Amino acid sequence: MEFINATLGEWMDKIAAEYPDQPAVVYTHKFDYKRTYREFNAECDTIARAFLAMGIKRGDHVAIWATNYPQWMMTLFACAKIGAVLVTVNTAYKIHEAEYLLKQSDTKVLVMSNGLKDVSYVDIVNRLCPEFAAEPDARDHSCTRLPFLRTCITIDEERYAGMYNWQDLYAMAETVSDAEYAAARAGLDCHDVVNMQYTSGTTGFPKGVMLTHYNILNNGKTIGDRMKFTPADKLCITVPFFHCFGLVLAMMASITHATTMVPVERYSPRKVMEALEMEQCTAVHGVPTMFIGMLEHPDFKQFKFNLRTGIMAGSPCPIKVMQQVVDDMGMKEITIVYGQTEASPGCTQTTTDDTLERRVNTVGRSFPGVETKIVDPETGETLGPGKIGEFCARGYNIMKGYYKMPEATAQAIDKDGWLHTGDLACCDEDGYYKITGRIKDMIIRGGENIYPKEIEDFIYTHPKISDVQVIGVPSKAYGEEIMACVILKEGESMTEQEVKDYVLSSMAKHKVPSYVMFVEGFPMNAAGKILKYKLREMAVEALSLQEAAAIETA
């Protein structure tokens, strides 16, 4: 593979020059926004100049808190062009999480929408920094609770005291000369940090993963290569920009191949299907629950798709759903990417040429330039084909580290540069990897190691079941017992015993769930990842297992 030695800004200039009239961004809902690569790049230059005018310099941290707005994309590339670092904020955050992230990241400028659903981002900022409203005519503030934060830019139409509005930026850009802009762009390095992604924080405090231009551009290029992206492709982006799935697997994979991006502001099955049909998209990405939402939508069969490829990732992909996407959505060349934010994020991926069996049963082979191995979590010994252990990766894609967390960085990346993912996997003789679960997800029942994904994949084949998650719950006798959390298809009914009998009919007795809980949905973070620890908490409460849960283990 030929690696890209360029910053995001340099790359966008190159693509805009080579494909000036190629559609870059097309929105079908909410926003009247359609730009060619030349137009989009020019607008990013304008915003970059405005950022310079308001005092943003190389190395400054600019946070973005919004769903998939056009301004989100412009903020990313504008920051990249002047050497600022984009800090991505989870759209589901509320005041406690927002305060932590903005403070820990040393954010200087916050770009934000008004809010999402019943959460007002503007209210949260005003509560954290009453200084904004107290000085309505000022735009440069000193905030006691967030000492680095100087100003905010709102991107919706409404204007707020003490804050800039996005429309102000276009006039501000005029005050920066070509010479000033060129000077700000000079000397930037592709190995500089361009993005800080905060891990979801399913355990402990979220950590700021520092990713470079080189990390994400080359990861995106490999991902696009494996989907055989060209300027003839159109990718519908249904996943959040703030997550690596949206930023790298979608945006970077597109811009490295001059592919057209068709973002959906926020996932809804109908809006996605409308966008797919209206633009005749050839690709779409999503987590399994997003694909399930479309496949089970009552109007699914009314839509005419032109899909070829895309990615299912973000959480373990049920084999049956993969097969349905191939059969019913026409995605004959769908792929799976495996990785994590700390690896920017991709480590392995299937290809469009892999057999269907390989594409639905594995997460593919290693990326060029990325070394991978399976190790014994206890001893660190490298394991051979077919053995389950911890997946480790090393290469160009590994993060620079966690922001201001050297100890956590040292725990994640060993002295030889290997990232320890905490994921359990095995590799076959041909180099294809299969993820079997998280080390912490693994259920140990009476000394027997049980991998939830194996049971989930089987239960999912029951015709009445829409989705399932398998977790371990505390047990006095065995340490842990298996619990299946089941979502039934609409109009269906089942008993706990039916589920247990179904597993027992085809799987070993020790893999039969001791408990079955029927639920309406699973707790998720905004990136679509299912929070199994929340399911476990719910189970402990529902089954009155507090006493067993309190037992300490070595």
| 423-458 pLDDT, tens digit each | 999 999 999 999 987 787 778 887 677 888 889 989
Cα separation values, 542 from 165, 445, 483, Å: 48, 20, 12
Domains of the chain: 37-198 (3.40.50.980), 443-549 (3.30.300.30)
Cα separation values, 370 from 214, 222, 344, 392, 394, Å: 13, 11, 12, 10, 6
Q: Is the pLDDT of residue 552 over 60?
A: no
Cβ contact 481:511 at 8 Å: no
Please tell me which residue, 13 or 199, carries the higher pLDDT value. 13
Using a pLDDT cut of 90, give the percent of the chain over it. 81
Min mean pLDDT across 112-126, 399-413, 516-530 is at 516-530
Name the residue with tokens 């929105």.
27
Residue ranges of E strands in 192-263: 193-198, 208-212, 234-237, 260-263
Cβ atoms within 10 A of the Cβ of 431, count?
Answer: 13
Q: Is the pLDDT of residue 279 over 70?
A: yes
Q: What is the pLDDT of residues 143-202, one digit of tens each?
A: 999 999 999 999 999 999 999 999 999 999 999 999 999 999 999 999 999 999 998 544
Q: How crowded is the C-beta side of 471, counted as CA atoms within 13 Å?
A: 19
> pLDDT value at position 204?
57
Please tell me which residue, 106 or 531, carries the higher pLDDT value. 106
Average pLDDT over residues 252-272: 98
Q: What is the pLDDT of residues 203-239, one digit of tens each?
A: 457 899 999 999 999 999 999 999 999 999 999 999 9
- Spatial distance between the Cα atoms of 385 and 387, rounded to a whole number of angstroms: 6
Helix (H) / strand (E) containing 406: helix 406-412
Min mean pLDDT across 10-14, 432-436, 531-535 is at 531-535
Instruction: Count how many residues are written for the chain.
Output: 554
- Spatial distance between the Cα atoms of 247 and 243, rounded to a whole number of angstroms: 6
Helix (H) / strand (E) containing 81: helix 70-82
Cβ contact 26:34 at 8 Å: yes
> pLDDT value at position 554?
39
Chain centroid to Cα 325, Å, comes to 20
> pLDDT value at position 418?
98
